Structure 1
Amino acid sequence: MANGDRGMEILLHLGAHRTATTTLQHMLGQSHVGLQGAGLAYWGPKRLRAGLFDGLYNSNDTLLPRKVDRAQARIKLQARGIADQGTALLFVSEENMLGNMRRLLARTQLYDGAGARVARFAQGFEGHGMTLGLSIRCYDAFWTSVIGWRLRHGGTLPDAALCERLITQPRRWRHVIADLAQAMPGIAIRVWTHEAMAGRPDQLIAQLTGARLVMRGQDAWCNPTPHAARMIEECRDADIEGAEMLPQRAGRFMPFSIHQRAILRAQYQEDLDWLATGAGGLATYIDTAGAKTPCPTEQGRGRPDDQDDGWLAQAG
């Protein structure tokens, strides 16, 4: 799916989940006037999940062709409408285009089938220039955050078998990127890390859109993983048996052992090295040179976080 004659530019922001995506969406939603003044428009989950993308979501990827066609036709119609209003770039942010978090843990694989899934959504924007945006995160923090989300939504406590499967599952961020590139050849992919850019939304927006905006809502932090004590309390309230046994380290929820975390961080470092050396021509790595974080935090904002202490994120 290569870009032909470029109309309006489309940025499909794919998340990933648990990489400050909700916070960025909140800020974009609060900054309508500034975006409009720069010739930009924003579509986020509130709009997309309220009907526009209906027919394209399915956790098992079993979709009815007629519903897919209708959804893509709706997208084309609405995109054409804002293009006709003079919009230069449409920022579309929806992490469930990659797949949902329940699927991640049910299949214990990192976004398997992501390329074909995202291509269904991208098809609705044909006729416009297109770029994919992907934020990635170190595996120990990423999987811990996904497991924490599941616990807070009625899931079960993580066990040793689950942690081992997440360590040995074969997919890495570089495989997700390769899937996207193969499914949508010719479409640019831009990649950044949660560790370097989550606390720099203004820089990220400038990198992705070329516009320097004053973003509203920068002080908000949406949907963070709580400390273990709060998670234990929430699990008790939800009658999840064994909540007191939640694994933790220095007050933080952490299901992985020190040895397991070292393995996951080494896997992530391989991804960063691959990105820093050109990603095989498949993607552009956009972490800014000044955004290296000697001690990355869960929230990417420089506050101490024992989940990430003592580890250097190679950001550029």
Structure 2
Amino acid sequence: MKVILHIGAHRTGTMSFQSYIRRHSKELRDDGLGFWGPMRTHNGLFAGVQPTPGFGRTAARRARGRILLNLKKAQAQGVETLFVSDENMMGSVRMNLRKSRLYPDIGERLARYIWAFDQRIDKIVLSVRALDHFWASSLAHGVGQRHAVPDAARCLGIARQPRTWRDVVSDVSCAAPLAQIEVTPFEMSADRPDLMLMAATGHAAPRDAAPEWLNRAPTAAQLRDVLAERGEDIDAVPDTDRRWNPFDTNARAALREAYADDMHWLISGANGLATLTEELDQTRAGKTPPHGPYKRGLGHDIEERRMAQPG
């Protein structure tokens, strides 16, 4: 049985992607594809993998035994490929915001999961997103979860911090040296979960007539409502119905340049550490042929799609 970990990242449509797989779980299961998502991994399956105050190595060993037992059951049930999707394996948006760093502890976290799976990981799938949009979405999500509105100095600090997706990929490779690492840009996969799943697993996947978009970052207008309910200054966020981006022109330029460098590194082979999925429509189409041209309004910013095209 082949085991694939889809580890996120957050703010790259992971919840929508997982919802898509759940809706089509029977069809996928009939094709030999099993799925463990957050509804299962957060329901005790992964409990103890990461250190928790008051619980020691015994909890980690029990978690490992529980995971291996479930792997054995899945294989006995005829699962050919097990797809495990849980973005919290990488860490959390809260930790990113607290440290103003991109998944600073992903290496240690992922190494614990690799141990818990007894090194039986064939592939790790990582979704990445243009850094200015990733951080803007993360900050908007944070403000919606009662974080303070970041000032210009903090935004500039985030833009200038040196850690990018290249560092994340390198840490993943160190934690899982035996696994294939595949990187898929959010900009090309946001409205085609079927193609992303096929690219990741090689299994045919049904297409949704109308892709959904869950857990979107709140708009500026929605954030102003949140601030008003908390009794805070609503003018800390501009009065507009558009998506909120707290970064000024210089900060956005720095983040976009860093992302362009990441894409160049990935396109150039990532020093042999990872493979970039550049064209989903041309990747292992399986039983489902590509469907039509891209249409605006199906869930992501067209500017992000343009940024994903190698120049």
Flag whether TM exceeds 0.5 (same fold).
Answer: yes
Q: 1:240 to 1:9 in 2, by over 3 A?
A: farther
- The secondary structure found in structure 2 opposite 1:312 is helix
Alpha carbons 2:9, 2:87 under 8 Å: kept: yes
- Aligned counterparts of 1:37 and 1:250: Cα–Cα separation in 2: 44
The residue that corresponds to 2:308 in the other structure is 313
Task: Supply the distance in 2 between the matched residues of 1:249 and 1:38 (Cα, whole angstroms).
Answer: 46
1:258-277 matches, cutoff 5 A: 258-277=249-268
Q: SS of 2:307's equivalent?
A: coil
Query: Cα deviation per residue 1:250-270 (whole Å; 9 max; x = unaligned)?
Result: 732110001211111010000
For the pair 1:42 / 2:35, whether they are aligned, the reply is yes
1:269 is aligned with what amino acid?
A
The amino acid of 1:74's aligned partner reads: R
The residue aligned with 1:284 is: 275
Structure 1 residues not aligned, in runs of 5+: 1-7, 292-299
Q: How does 1:1-316 map to 2 (within 5 A)?
A: 8-57=1-50, 64-126=56-118, 128-215=120-207, 218-237=210-229, 239-247=230-238, 251-288=242-279, 302-303=296-297, 308=303, 312-314=307-309
Q: Which amino acid aligns with 1:256?
A: F
SS in structure 2 at match of 1:147 = helix
Structure 1 residues 305 and 120: alpha-carbon distance in aligned structure 2, compared to 1, 3 A threshold: closer
Letter in 2 for 1:277: S
C-alpha displacement at 1:235, in angstroms? 2.6
Q: Conserved in 1, the CA contact under 8 Å of 2:114 and 2:175?
A: no
Query: Percent identity of the aligned residues?
Result: 34
Relative to 1, partners in 2 of residues 1:147 and 1:282: Cα closer, same or farther, differing over 3 Å? same
Question: In the aligned structure 2, how far is the partner of 1:305 from the partner of 1:70?
Answer: 41
Determine the C-alpha separation between the residues in 1 that align with 2:233 and 2:55: 38
Contact in 2 for aligned 1:119/1:183 (Cα 8 Å): yes
**SS of residue paired to 2:9:** coil
The 1-side partners of 2:79 and 2:231 are apart by: 49
The number of residues matched between the two structures is 299
Using the alignment, how far apart are the partners of 1:45 and 1:217 within structure 2?
Answer: 24
Distance of aligned partners of 1:193 and 1:240 in 2 relative to their CA distance in 1, 3 Å threshold:
farther
Cα separation, partners in 2 of 1:176 and 1:183, compared to 1, 3 Å: same
Q: Match of 1:295?
A: none
Give the Cα separation in 1 of the matches to 2:183 and 2:169.
Answer: 9
Q: Give the superposition deviation at 1:59.
A: 8.7
1:252 aligned counterpart, secondary structure = coil
C-alpha change, 1:311 and 1:213, in structure 2 (3 Å) is closer
Report Cα offsets for 1:132-189 as digits up to 9, x if no partner. Answer: 0000001110001111111111111111222022112121101111111112112100
Q: Report Cα offsets for 1:5-63 as digits up to 9, x if no partner.
A: xxx11110011000011100111111111111110111111111111111124599x97
8 A contact 2:194–2:205 mirrored in 1 = yes
* CA deviation string 1:210-252 (max 9, x = no partner): 1122145852110111321122112322x05112321477732
For the Cα contact (< 8 Å) 1:138–1:268, is it kept in 2?
yes
SS of structure 1 residue aligned to 2:308: coil
**In the aligned structure 2, how far is the partner of 1:242 from the partner of 1:198?**
33
Q: TM-score, normalised by structure 2?
A: 0.88
Q: What value does the CA root-mean-square deviation take over the aligned residues?
A: 2.6
* Contact preservation (8 Å) 2:125, 2:183: yes
Q: TM-score scaled to structure 1, two decimals? A: 0.87
Q: Note closer, same or farther for the CA distance 1:188–1:41 as it changes in structure 2 (3 Å cut).
A: same
Unpaired segments ≥5 residues, structure 2:
283-293
